[in-house]
Structures are given as C-alpha cells and as structure tokens.
Amino acid sequence: MATSTAAPSQDELTKAAALSVFDNAGKEVTFGSLFRDQKTVVVFIRHFFCGQCQKYVMHLASVRKDALEKAGVRLVVIGCGDWQPIKSYCETTGFSYAMYADPARALYTTFGLVQNLERTPAGQAKRSYLGQSFLSNVLKSIWDGPLKKPQYIGKQGNISQLGGDFIFGPGEACSYASRMRHTEDHVEVADLMKEAGVEYP
C-alpha cells in the first residue's frame, strides 16, 4: 500500500500509461497520451455527484490559461464514473480544461487510491475549498446531482472512491503525488500549482 505522498513506481507508471480513459464524447484515449509530451497536472476526483469535489474543480477552473501556457503545463481532471456526465459537470463547475472518465477505476487502483467515506479528522483544519458546512455540501451534491440530472444516476461512479492529485510527465514520470486520505482531502489549488510551477491566482 503506497503512502499518501509516494510517487508511483516505474512499473505502475508504465502500466497506467497503457490504460484507457474516455473523453466527454465517449472517445477512448490512452492515459499516457495525456502527459507524453508535457508536464500535466492530473486531478482524480471522487464520483461526479460529489459536492466537495465540485467545489474543488471550481477552484481549479480559476487557474488561468495563460499561466498554464507560460509554464508549459496541462491541466486534466479524471472522474471514476461513466463519461456521459462530463459535459454537465464542466457546465456546473465552469471547468473548461480537459476532463476524462475512468469507469473501471483501473487508474485509481493502479495508483493506490483508497475507498472510504471519512471526513476531515477532528482537530485538523479543513481545506479552504470546502467553504460551506458539511450539510450544505451534501444538499448541494443532491441538488446538482440526482435531482437536477436524474439521467446520470448510476453513472456517477463509486461514492466511496477517493481521488488524488498528481503531476506527471513529460513521459512516464511523476514529480508529485498526493492521495486523498478522506473525502475532503484534495491539495489546495495554490499549493498544487506551485508544485507544477504555474502562477496562481
């Protein structure tokens, strides 16, 4: 079992690079093609109905395109559900960069991303992207998810699957890894962009 910040092994990177993800039209692409030629920040979110991850992706959406281009960095989000909710998810979050789906969760398994429904431990500061109360986030998840988009029920992905934040490339290399330990544990966007050499905000 990998520690939360251990970089994937070379074998894991090679295996992952050959796995497939799906874009917002259902087109299959290899994961390795996303970072073959440039440094790429890859954020693995939880299920597509997760309100906490939606708030995080809203923060990611504020990363400036010119800052990414200046740093030569690409920004990608991957969810563990089917590809059909992607367009709606991007509309909800204002995210205009690339988003893909890994419905088999093969990448999640390869990179040691765990499953649980735990929240921020008592006594530990909550991540700034969370904003509202837990109940508000739950209600928003229900409204923006199954109530507003009932056609995606069953396509959102495993609700207990956690994600993580990585920097890959160019080529089969990983310079940063942070696996979520609970449902509110994405790396602060400012810290992630600093690791990637991207000016933010």
- Band the pLDDT of 1: cuts 50, 70, 90: very low
pLDDT for residue 145 is more than 60: no
Residues 6+ apart with CB under 8 A from 78: 21, 42, 43, 44, 45, 99, 100, 101, 102, 107
- Band the pLDDT of 127: cuts 50, 70, 90: confident
Is the preceding peptide bond at 170 cis, omega within 30 degrees of 0?
Answer: yes
- Encode pLDDT of 75-95 as tens digits: 999 999 999 999 999 999 999
